[in-house]
Amino acid sequence: MFLSRWDTRTLIPVLLIRTWSRLCHVPGPWFAGLSKFWLLRKALGGRFHLDTAEACEKYGPIVRVGPNELVTNDPVVLKRMSAVRSPYRRSAWYDGARLEPEYDSVFSETNEERHNMLRSKAAMGYSGKDNEYLEQSIDDNIGSLVRLLDSKYISTTTEFKPVDMAQKFQLLTLDIISDIAFGEAFGNLKADEDLSSYIKTMDNMFPLIILLGTWPALAKVFFSKVLRPFLPKETDTIGMGKLMGIGKKVVAERFGPNKKVKQDMIGSLIAHGLTQREVQSETLLQIVAGSDTSATAMRATLLYIVSNPHVQQKLLEEISKSSISTPITDAEARKLPYLQAVIKEGMRIFPPVTGFMSKTVPPDGDTIKGLYIPGGTTIGWSPFGLMRNEKLWGPDAKVFRPERWFEGTPEEIQSKEIDVEMCFGYGKYQCLGKNIANIELNKVYVELLRNFEFTVVDPVTPWKCFNAGLFLQSDLWMRVTKRVPSL
């Protein structure tokens, strides 16, 4: 039976009121409770990381940003949702984060039992403990970057050779993670180009991932058999499909009667019981998640270092006065207090992962900050809201100031360290690649700064930066000169 014109006119307002009233007690933009338009517009606008942070500043630690969506900048809430025994579960947002149409990785898997299984089997491989060449791989590729800059991009008083450090850091992290994951670097730094067109592919892909995450129903359509012919394929010669093909080939060599056996990440995944198909999915995830996040951290932190002369000077003094190897070892870097403060402050002021990554409130609902939240509601996080929250970091929370890591009692400093670690997630959803990222960051700034002086070409517009869950960054143009041998 069809609705009459009068029934339709009556029904629409009733549905809107019902939609709005479900979470009307939670503060937020009033129109966000009527449709997903606010959330979608912000997600596609390129500054979602700042929009959600500003919403939390204006409305409080729990903000309504959609008919059934909330966002928080409160570490207590985030820990509550991600604790090992938390009844919260991953929401449908993760359906859009699938890198392959038919397969989930440990990041996109929403089935809690399967996620826990994948995570437990992959943990040792991601930690690097089963890879005896992990640190050497990182050293070799950072060394390749140093040699590239030295041979091709040194400026002098008579010659100006600007270099886009945004691209160079991406090439570096792609080579590092491919070396770790596949046993051989892609060779981007040697060729001084993106051999697989990965950067261009990600520029197109990440906004789509955010769209699918914001509107999960679209993910089912996108990954359906109807659109399957238009999605990346293992036979592609560029982009995500090429990476899928490389991963399939390399992983296949580790199985079968004539299999290769190596003590690397793939070897660890196999040794801990992952199937050939599961290993293939995890290696693809390593390339995407491991390269983009580390590259963002490197770009942002180097930019903050060279833009703050007193920070750079203190860091250089610590490097010059310390007895460290060339290249610096991870163990040595961990003993340099100011370097560690700079790394933590860089991660705090510019957290590299900003995807909504919402969790679903358990069926019986939950009471948070005095607000009852009905079951089925999704709660995402605002990493910039968390890391620039004045209640946590003080009135200068938006200032890059490594000295804050030496201030306060030991208990207060420890609390801050726990909070900044949330850049990598928390509990059962914490990033498995945290150890690899920390080793990269412990080394890269020391090796670059002991060899070169960096000057931002255009301080007014230092880079192009678009947020799509991960950051799409380019045109970080710098003038590079040789540093005097005192370091």
Q: What is the number of other CB atoms lying within 10 angstroms of the CB of residue 36?
A: 16
Can you spell out the DSSP letters for 324-387?
A: --SSPPHHHHTT-HHHHHHHHHHHHHS-SB-----EEPPTT-EEETTEEE-TT-EEEE-HHHHH
Q: For residue 372, which of 15, 24, 14, 16 has the smallest C-alpha distance?
A: 24
H-helix segments, 394-486:
410-420, 434-449
Strand partners, 481: 453
Q: For residue 282, which of 267, 304, 296 has the smallest C-alpha distance?
A: 267
Q: What is the number of other CB atoms lying within 10 angstroms of the CB of residue 463?
A: 19
CB 372 within 8 A of CB 365: yes
In sequence order, which residues have a C-beta less than 8 Å from that of residue 238 and are 6 or more positions away?
196, 197, 201
Pairwise CA distance, residues 212 & 220, whole Å: 9
Give the three-state DSSP class for 481. strand
431 labeled binding residue:
yes
Which residues make up each annotated binding site?
431
Which residues make up each annotated binding site for heme?
431
